[in-house]
Structure formats: structure tokens, C-alpha cells
Amino acid sequence: MQISFHTDAFNSVAWNFEKCLQWASRNSVPLIECGFIDGVSWIHGLGYFPHLASTDDPILLRKKLDHYGVHLSQIDAAYPLSGKDGPIYGVPYVLNVLRFAKLVGCPRVCTTDGLLKPEGLEDNEAMQLMKRSYEQIVSVAESYEIDITIEIHGYFTTKIDRLDEMLHFTDSPRLRLNLDTGNSFISGGNPIDFAERFATKVSHVHIKDVSQSLAESLRGQETGIALSESAIGDGVNAGNIRRTLEILRDAGYSGPVSMECAGEGGPLIEKSLAWLRKTLAELGINE
């Protein structure tokens, strides 16, 4: 498995994308994951936001990635596709990210549903809406040879049977799962159950622990958390993460495992990296 990290880790310290590349290179982390702005933003333009934008040149960026010896594991294009505005805003957004991803050499684009029940839609209506959106997105992804991953993050995706339906919206092998250990746990479930059921559909993994205080206050009430304030290995989800990695190992998974935690400029994510490397070694999983 290859270690990656989400640049969300450095939102709070206002790093730009290149500083994240430097951190990855300094810590021998081969992969990086980031979000995408489809347009311009003052905070990105001033260099205070660690994600990519459509104003970045993907070919020049690819050369920069090569310079640092770091490559993209995934671009996060998770505009919710479950609401009425999913086809209007979400689908064009994902399609634009697909074109950028192809040019920059990124093999995956992440998508998801909304955190809450879609306003004004019955559940089955929303599922049908998403199905049409995913059919359109995946047909393009096939041409670009890029995986479309569905992240466990929202009202539908944290329900294991609904997620199963979503992963079968098309029979394309390009429609895959981004298994998130933190969101599956905070929603009241367990990442182990998702790993056991969908191991062969996984293309990317978010490794995210959950602090005891957060679990006690929000578990079963939220469908997803953007970041955890807990270093990976220090929270109540650590045992589940370890078992999830075992299940994926036994299923032959060899893709990215991307760390998600508040980096605090380095300390928390560096502690997370040390725990993840130690755990992978103990489980006999090569980086």
C-alpha cells in the first residue's frame, strides 16, 4: 500500500499546495491528495489554501510533482451529487476535474453525496438522480481511464446497503469506493463492516481516527467529519483502522492509504505517519 495524505491537514495553518509537496518530500511520503477549486478564490490566489484550482496549469504542475518526487493519489471533487443541484453544479464540476486529472496524471477523482437528506426529494428519487449523474460521469471517466471513487461521507453513503446500490449504478470497473474509516465510524457504523463487504471495490482509502470526546458527542448524529483533531492511532477508532487494513491486505488491496487529520503544521500528521508506518510494518504490508 502507498501512503498518501489529504492537504486538508494543513488548512488551519494556511499552507499552499507547494508547501504540502515539500512536507511530503521531506517525510518520504510518495503521494498527495487534494481538493479542487473550479475557478478562482482569494484565499487560494494569495497562497493560503493547500488545494488546486482550475487556474493552475496541469502540465506545469505535473513537472513540479516530478521535481518533488510526489504524485497525486486522488483529486477530491466531492460536491454533493444527491441534491437537486447535483446535476446542475456537481456533474460539470466533476467532469472539469476529470480533464484536469488526466493532464496532471492523477488516476482517481473522488465524489460523494450530501451530509443530510436531500431537501425536497424522497430517498429513492435522490438515488435515481444520482444514478443518472454517475452514469454520465463514469462514461467520461472510462475514456480517460480514471477511477471515480464514491466516498463514505453522507446521508446515503454511510448506509451500507444504499452504498452497495450506488456502487452498482453502472457495471463499469471504473466506479469504485473511497473507504473512509472516520466517517463510517462517526456515523454510527464501523469501517470493518464496509471493508468486509466492499474490499474488492476499494480504490482509495481515507485513514482517519476519532477522538473519544468527538465520538461521545457526535457518533450516530453526524454522517461525516472534515478532519479529526486526533492523531491517527490516538483515538477510539485505531483498532478498527488496524483491522480494516488487515482485511484490505488479505483481499489484495495495494492502493493508497491517505491520512486525514488536522496537521497543525506538522506535529499531528507526523505522529499519524509514524503510527501508520509502524502498523503497516506489523501487518506485513509493504509501502
DSSP the chain: -EEEEBGGGGTTTT--HHHHHHHHHHTT--EEEEEEESS--HHHHTT---SEETTS-HHHHHHHHHHHT-EEEEEE-----SSTTIIIIIHHHHHHHHHHHHHHT--EEEE---SSPPTT--HHHHHHHHHHHHHHHHHHHHHHT-EEEEES-STTTTSHHHHHHHHTSS--TTEEEEEEHHHHHHTTS-HHHHHHHHGGGEEEEEE----HHHHHHHTTT-S--S--SSPTTSSTTHHHHHHHHHHHHHTT--SEEEE-S--TTTHHHHHHHHHHHHHHHHTT---
Whether the predicted pLDDT of 130 surpasses 80: yes
> Using one digit for the tens of pLDDT, what is the confidence trace for 7-34?
999 998 999 999 999 999 999 999 999 9
Domain-wise residue ranges, the chain: 2-282
Q: What's the predicted TM-score (pTM) here?
A: 0.97
What is the predicted pLDDT for the residue at 250? 98
What class, spelled out in words, does domain 2-282 have in CATH? alpha beta
What is the predicted pLDDT for the residue at 99? 98
pLDDT category of residue 38 using cuts at 50, 70 and 90: very high
> Using one digit for the tens of pLDDT, what is the confidence trace for 212-225?
999 999 999 999 98
Whether the predicted pLDDT of 192 surpasses 80: yes
